[in-house]
Amino acid sequence: MKSLLATLALTTALTLPGLAMARPVTLTTTMNNYGGDGAYLALYVTDAAGAYAGSLWMAGGKSKYYEHLSDWYRATAGDTAQINGITGASVGAGRTLEITLDLADTLFDAGYTLHIDAAVEDMRDSPNEVTVPLTTDGAGTPVTGRRYVADFTYDM
């Protein structure tokens, strides 16, 4: 289990009152066979007003491609400090990305939304590939992506 509490607490707006209360959450993203190279994925959270709250994970290591994750890029102005220490490899077609994070309890049932932006070389960019409200009830329910993500689930 990767503990990202500290990172998130330091770098993002997820430093909310009551953060001491946190729980491990597993995010599972399964890609469909879209017939291209490894996909870049940005997982991040917006608040009830739609404002960027913080990043959870960046799959893909070359920052020169981040602008293709256009919503995330717009929200963060491409600031790589947002994903310091929470960056991994890009995810191939048909593969699954599974990450486990400590997320603050206050992120759930409070209007926060989890977004995934996706981009694949020589294929269309797909900002807002996945949009799913963070609720305790929604945990464990698969959500389908628009173009590249076969399904996405968060489990607590």
Q: Which of residues 26-85 bind another protein (CB under 8 A)?
A: 35-37, 50, 61-64, 67, 70, 73-74, 77-78
128 binds another protein (CB under 8 A): yes
CB of 128 to another protein, least distance (A): 7
Tokens found for residue 140:
């464990």
Q: Say whether residue 109 binds another protein (CB under 8 A).
A: no
CA pair distance 45, 144, nearest whole angstrom: 17
Nearest distance in Å: CB 26, another protein: 25
Of 97, 91, 86, the C-alpha closest to 45 is: 86
Return the closest-CA partner of residue 34 out of 109, 134, 121: 121
Tokens of 19: 């953060």
- Contact residues for another protein (CB under 8 A)? 35-37, 50, 61-64, 67, 70, 73-74, 77-78, 89, 122-125, 128, 146-147
